[in-house]
Amino acid sequence: MTATGNNEDITFGPNFMSDDIPIFQKEDEVDDSDWKDKLADEAAKVDEKVNSDRAQKKDNKTDPGFMRLVSLLGSQAYIFLGAVENPATGTPTPQIDQARETIDCLAALLEKSKGNTSEEEDKLLKQVVSELQMLYVEATRGPTGPAPGTPTQPPQA
């Protein structure tokens, strides 16, 4: 049989598309079902290690780095609220928008770290967020109501 196309002659041999020649040669089947069991065992070991690490973290004492982070952000928020003197100027310089952002960051940290902090860390973070939210409300409302141009809603907890 001959086919013509693109100025070439293509000749097909007598066995072309013959049913007696398998297209794919089937190799001896290999039993590889044990890989699933091995994978499941490895996954169980990893899960066990992760769970034990989490339990150990809960039992651990207070992390000084976390406490410093809360203190640093809290100090910044107090400065931005004008409740504490700005160390650079020596006078209170309220920056309400920055205070709100910092308080929101602390509130997000409180929410996202639930269950992963020690009692002491949790207590400090809750106290700092609560105090700062109250100061924010006082700073934005003032004695006669909200200051012009300040948001009217307190930072979210």
HSE on the CB side for 82, CA within 13 Å?
Answer: 12
Q: Are the C-beta atoms of 118 and 67 separated by less than 8 Å?
A: no
**Which residues does residue 27 pair with via DSSP β-bridges, in sequence order?**
none
pTM of the entire structure? 0.54
**Which residues does residue 152 pair with via DSSP β-bridges, in sequence order?**
none
d(CA 110, CA 117): 9
What is the full per-residue pLDDT of the chain (157 aa) written as tens digits?
555 555 555 555 555 555 555 555 555 555 666 767 777 788 888 878 777 766 655 555 788 899 999 999 999 999 999 988 888 888 888 999 999 999 999 999 999 998 888 899 999 999 999 999 999 999 888 665 555 555 555 566 5
Q: Are the C-beta atoms of 121 and 67 separated by less than 8 Å?
A: yes
Owner of token pair 């598309």: 17
81 lies in a domain? yes
67 lies in a domain? yes
How many structural domains does the chain have? 1
- pLDDT at site 36: 72
- pLDDT at site 96: 93
Among candidate residues 104, 99, 107, the one with its CA nearest the CA of residue 82: 99
115 lies in a domain? yes
CA angle (22, 23, 25) in 5-degree steps? 70
- pLDDT at site 115: 85
152 lies in a domain? no
d(CA 64, CA 59): 15
64 lies in a domain? yes
23 lies in a domain? no
40 lies in a domain? no
Identify the domain containing residue 71 by its residue range: 49-141
41 lies in a domain? no
- pLDDT at site 129: 95
